[in-house]
Structure 1
C-alpha cells in the first residue's frame, strides 16, 4: 500500500491522499464513564516500577503525536536495566516491538514492527507508522520480545481526516506552561478523561529549566523537580523530561490523545533567542550553542514530535479541508530581545521568526484552501500596552511577563518586540484577502480573547485581520500567585485598565489555571476556557469559565454563553 505524507516541511511539501471522510458523530460521554476509560489507558509509572528489577520495563508511559491521515508517530522509553535511568547513558541497546490495533484487546492488529531503544537516544524510541485509515481511532503498545512482563501500557490515538475530506469538525485540547514545582498537572488529567478530542496542542514550556526553588520561590514549591540544579547539559535535560513522564496526569493525557507540540523558551532557558537567553550566563554556564543543542536533542528524544528541516519544530499539519495548522518555532531564529530605551523594536533588521520561516508561513497561508488557517504561536501576536497601569500593578506584571521593573509599555519577548515581522504578516493577510486566520497562543499565564488589528491605535475604526485565543498556564504563576492574593481582587483593576488601553482585547483572565478546548467547524472556531479549582491539589476539579468564537469571515471574536457539547 502506497501512502503519502500530510506534513508540510519548511523546505518542501508532501503530496496527499484523496480519501473521503463521511461525517462522524461527536459526543461527550458522562464524566464517570470518561474517567473510567481514561483510567484504563493511563500508564502509571508506579504500577510498573516493580518490574525494573526483573528485566526491561516501560516506566515512562507511551505517547503518540503529529497525526496524519494515514499514520501517526508513536513514542515510548524502555528501561532495559535498573541502572539505565534517564540521562545515565547506561544499559544495553534493546529491540522493542510495537503494535497498532483497531481494538484495545489487540485482536485486530493492523500494523506492527520492531525498532531499537539505544543508549545514545536515552533508550527512547519512535515509530512513524503509516498505512492507517484516516479519521480512525487506534490503540498501540510496545513490548520487549523474548522476555516476560514487558508489555507497555496501552495508548489510544487518532489519525487525521483525509487531506481533501469535508470534515464536519475538529476539536483540540490546548495547553501551555506546565511548571512541575508550581503545582499538579490536573489540567492534563481532565483532558485525558475526554473522549471527544482529535489531539492535544501544547504551545510551549512543557518543562522549565530552573533550579529548585527559583520559580516559584522555595517556600511556594509544591513538589521538587529533578535534577535540583538548573539544567544545562544533555543529561540534565533528559532527567527533567524523564521526570515529567512519570507524572500520572502527564502519562494519562499522552496515552489518551495524540500530542501536537511546539517549544517556547523554557525548554531551553528563559527568554531564549538564537544566540543566547536571559537565563544563560556564558561565563559560568558554558557555551549557549551547546546548551541549545542539548535541549533540542532531549526534546526530540522525549517528545512525540517530528522534527522539521534543520531540527526545528515549525511544520504544518492538515485536518481535511477544514483546517490547516501552521506551527511556529519562535526561539531558534529570533533576534535578541530589545532592551529598555533602545527604540529598535520596529527595526526591519530584527526578526522573531527568521526570514525563511516567515516566508514559509506567508506562502502556506496564501496557498491554503482550508476553511480555517490555525497558527500555533508560542508568544502573543496581539499588541498590548501596559504603560497605563498604576505602579502597584505594573511591578508584579513586570515580574510575571519578564518586563523591566521600572516599567515598559510593551513585552519585548512577544511579537510586540518585533513589530516589523508582525506588520509584514498582518499586511500579508490583508493584501491577499486571507480570511479565517486564528492564532493559538500560550506563554503569558493568562487567558485572552483578542481581535488582531491592522492598526491598533485606530481600532475599531480600522479593521481586524485575524483573531487570537490565548490559553492560561497549566500551573505556572499568574498575577494572583505572584501577589499571593485571592483571585478576582487586584487583577480586576489590571484587567480593566488593559482592556481600556487595548480595545481589541475582548477578554482576559489573570488569575486562573487550566486549559482550552478549540472546536472548529466550517461556520466558526470556538475556544472554551476551563479552569482547575486549585493547582496545588492533585485531585483538583475543573469547571467551564468562558467561551469565545470567531464566525467565518468576520475576523473578530464574540462571547458565547455556553461551551460546545
Structure 2
C-alpha cells in the first residue's frame, strides 16, 4: 500500500512493537509503510499533523509516542467522521534518521478521534531518541524523547520540568516555551489541570478572556472534550515542549470538572448536564486518546517509574476514587476514616511501594497539597474569601479551610505519614500542583509538637500555575502587595511551611543528585503576553537523609 493512503482498517488503540533494527511488519492486516527519508511528502505537515507530536511515560526500554492525524478537512477533532488511516512511525538515534532502530505502522480513525499512540519497546536505557510519523502523504515534525536509566543503575543527576494549571483563556503558555528552550531536562512532570473545562467568560485572567476556549461552551460530552484537548495541542509553546522531552502526567479536576470526586463534581449539575457517569467516561476517554500516557479507559492512571537507583516516581490519581468534599456546613467529618482521597487500592499501592522502594529519592506526583495548612483568622473577610477561592473551597464559619486538598481527608494522610515514619523512610518528596501558588514545606510527623520536635516524614514542593489566577488576580491588586500580609500570617500559623508565593505564574525545575533534591521556581513577567520573559524567583533544597528544607541562593545551571 502506498505511503499515506487512508483506507478502512481495524483500529489499534495502542501498538506495542519491539525492534532492534529497521523492520517492516504487518499490523492488524495492514501492510507496513516503508519510511524512507528520501521520500517527498505530498501534503504539508501543518495540514496533516496540526497537533504536533509528543512522547511520554518513559521506562528503561519503552516510551509512548503520540500524534493526531487530520486526513482531510472533514476529520476535525470531535467530529466523529473521517476515513481510517494508516500511520507509519520510526525511531532513530539521530535527528536525521540515519540509524533507525524501530519502525512500524498502525491505523487510526474516527473511533479514536484520529489520534495515535504507540508503545515502542526494545529501546536502550538512558538514551536520547528521535521519532516521526507519516500519514496522508505527509511527514510529521520530528520529536525527541529519552528512556529512563536502567533499573538499579548509578545515576549522578536527574532534572525535571514541573508544571500545573495551564488555563488557555488566562494567558499564553510562555512557561512551556522557557522549558523547551532548555537542553537539560530528562522529562516534564505535569501535575494536573493540563486543560480547563470552562466556557468562554467563565474563568480567565482577572475576568479578561485572553484567548477564548473552543468549543464555545463548557465541555461535557466526548466531542466537547476532544475539541478542547485539540485546541490546547495547537499552542506552539506546548507543541515545542512536547516535541522536546517526554511528559509524565496525571490529571486533577479541570480535565473533568471543577472539584471533581468519584461520583460527581462541584461544576456538574445532574439532569441539566446529564449523568456524571457519562461525563466521566467521556473525559477519561478523551484523555486516553489525546495524552502521551500509558492509560486506556477502564484502566488505572496511578503508576510508578524508576530512574536507576537515584529516584522512583509515583504518580497519583486523586480524583477518580475520592469521597465528596466536605461542604461549608461541615456536613462530614474531615477525620472520618471512611472518607478517602486515594481510594483503598491506590492507598495500599502507594504505601506498600514506599515501604519496598530501594531508590534514594522517593518522588510522589501529587495533584493536590498534602502539607497541613491552618489559614489565619486575623485576615479581613475579603482576604479570607480570596484564600477560599484559591483553595477551591467555601468559607467554613468565616474561615478558609483546605478541604479540596489532603486537609479534607486526614485519615488517608495519616496513613501515608505513618508508613513514612514507622518504616523510617527517608528522602520522600511530594511534588504538587493545583493551588496556583508556590510552597515549600516540611511534613511534620506531628503538627502539635513541631517545631520543638522538628521530626519530618518528608518535604513538599508546590509549583505555581502556568496561567491560572492566584491571589493578586483574585483581589485585583498588584503582585506582592496584599499577599505579603497573607503570607506572613500563614507562616506564623504554620512553622513547617518555609516558603509561600501567592502571586506568581510560571514553572519549576527539580534537580536530583545523590546529595540533595533542589526545586527552582521561575516566574513569568506577564502571562498575558505571548513573549513573556521569565526570571528565577527562589530555590529550596533538601539534603539527603535530613527531611528538612533550606533556601538556596542560585538555581541549577
TM-score (normalizing by structure 1) = 0.89
Tell whether 2:285 aligns with 1:297.
yes
Sort the Cα spacing of 1:90 and 1:218 in 2 relative to 1 into closer, same or farther, 3 A. Answer: farther
Whether contact under 8 Å (1:380, 1:470) holds in the other structure is yes
Q: Which residue of 2 aligns with 1:261?
A: 249
Q: CA deviation at 1:310?
A: 3.9
Tell whether 2:236 aligns with 1:244.
no
Q: CA deviation at 1:49?
A: 13
Whether contact under 8 Å (1:308, 1:315) holds in the other structure is no
What is the correspondence of 1:121-140 to structure 2 with a 5 Å cutoff?
121-140=112-131
Q: Which residue of 2 aligns with 1:235?
A: 223
Q: Which residue of 1 aligns with 2:356?
A: 367
Tell whether 2:505 aligns with 1:513.
yes
Q: CA deviation at 1:398?
A: 1.3
Q: Which residue of 1 aligns with 2:404?
A: 413
Q: Which residue of 1 aligns with 2:374?
A: 385
**Which residue of 477, 483, 496 corresponds with 1:491?**
483
Any idea what the Cα deviations from partners look like across 1:468-509, whole Å, max 9, x if unmatched? 000000000001111121111000010000010011000010
Q: CA deviation at 1:101?
A: 0.6
Whether contact under 8 Å (1:548, 1:557) holds in the other structure is yes
Whether contact under 8 Å (1:204, 1:443) holds in the other structure is yes
Whether contact under 8 Å (2:206, 2:473) holds in the other structure is no
Choose between structure 1 and 2: higher helix proportion: 1
Output the CA distance in 2 between the equivalents of 1:233 and 1:208: 14
Tell whether 2:109 aligns with 1:118.
yes
Q: CA deviation at 1:112?
A: 0.4
Output the CA distance in 2 between the equivalents of 1:407 and 1:445: 22
Q: CA deviation at 1:554?
A: 0.7
Any idea what the Cα deviations from partners look like across 1:49-84, whole Å, max 9, x if unmatched? 98489xx71110000000111121000000011110
Q: Which residue of 1 aligns with 2:321?
A: 333
Q: CA deviation at 1:460?
A: 1.2
What is the correspondence of 1:104-183 to structure 2 with a 5 Å cutoff?
104-144=95-135, 148=137, 150-183=138-171
Whether contact under 8 Å (2:88, 2:104) holds in the other structure is yes
Output the CA distance in 2 between the equivalents of 1:283 and 1:309: 24
Secondary structure at the aligned position of 1:68 is classed as coil
Whether contact under 8 Å (2:204, 2:210) holds in the other structure is no
Q: CA deviation at 1:119?
A: 1.1
Q: Work out the number of aligned pairs and report it.
A: 513
Sort the Cα spacing of 1:505 and 1:357 in 2 relative to 1 into closer, same or farther, 3 A. Answer: same
Output the CA distance in 1 between the equivalents of 2:213 and 2:198: 9
Whether contact under 8 Å (1:52, 1:81) holds in the other structure is no
Query: Gapped runs of 5+ residues in structure 2?
Result: 1-40
Sort the Cα spacing of 1:516 and 1:49 in 2 relative to 1 into closer, same or farther, 3 A. Answer: farther
Any idea what the Cα deviations from partners look like across 1:169-191, whole Å, max 9, x if unmatched? 11100000000000000000011
Structure 1: which 4+ aligned runs deviate by more than 4 Å?
none
Query: Gapped runs of 5+ residues in structure 1?
Result: 1-47
Output the CA distance in 2 between the equivalents of 1:561 and 1:65: 32
TM-score (normalizing by structure 2) = 0.90
Any idea what the Cα deviations from partners look like across 1:29-64, whole Å, max 9, x if unmatched? xxxxxxxxxxxxxxxxxxx998489xx711100000
Q: Which residue of 1 aligns with 2:540?
A: 548
Tell whether 2:346 aligns with 1:357.
yes
What is the correspondence of 1:26-45 to structure 2 with a 5 Å cutoff?
none
Q: Which residue of 1 aligns with 2:5?
A: none
What is the correspondence of 1:27-106 to structure 2 with a 5 Å cutoff?
51=44, 57-106=48-97
Q: CA deviation at 1:409?
A: 4.7
What is the correspondence of 1:442-457 to structure 2 with a 5 Å cutoff?
442-457=433-448
Output the CA distance in 1 between the equivalents of 2:175 and 2:336: 39
Q: CA deviation at 1:342?
A: 3.0
- RMSD, aligned CA: 1.6
Q: CA deviation at 1:219?
A: 4.4
Q: Which residue of 2 aligns with 1:14?
A: none
Whether contact under 8 Å (1:179, 1:208) holds in the other structure is yes
**Which residue of 389, 392, 401 corresponds with 1:399?**
389
Sort the Cα spacing of 1:352 and 1:310 in 2 relative to 1 into closer, same or farther, 3 A. Answer: same
Output the CA distance in 2 between the equivalents of 1:524 and 1:275: 41
Sort the Cα spacing of 1:62 and 1:217 in 2 relative to 1 into closer, same or farther, 3 A. Answer: closer
Q: Which residue of 2 aligns with 1:35?
A: none
Q: Which residue of 1 aligns with 2:183?
A: 195
Secondary structure at the aligned position of 1:67 is classed as coil
Q: CA deviation at 1:455?
A: 1.3
Q: Which residue of 2 aligns with 1:472?
A: 464
Whether contact under 8 Å (1:83, 1:91) holds in the other structure is yes
Output the CA distance in 1 between the equivalents of 2:452 and 2:303: 35
Any idea what the Cα deviations from partners look like across 1:396-444, whole Å, max 9, x if unmatched? 1112222214633521100000001101110110001111100000000
Tell whether 2:530 aligns with 1:538.
yes
Q: Which residue of 2 aligns with 1:26?
A: none
Whether contact under 8 Å (1:324, 1:373) holds in the other structure is yes
Output the CA distance in 2 between the equivalents of 1:516 and 1:524: 16
Q: CA deviation at 1:343?
A: 5.2
Output the CA distance in 2 between the equivalents of 1:83 and 1:262: 31
Any idea what the Cα deviations from partners look like across 1:294-347, whole Å, max 9, x if unmatched? 000000100000117942310000000100000100000000001233350000
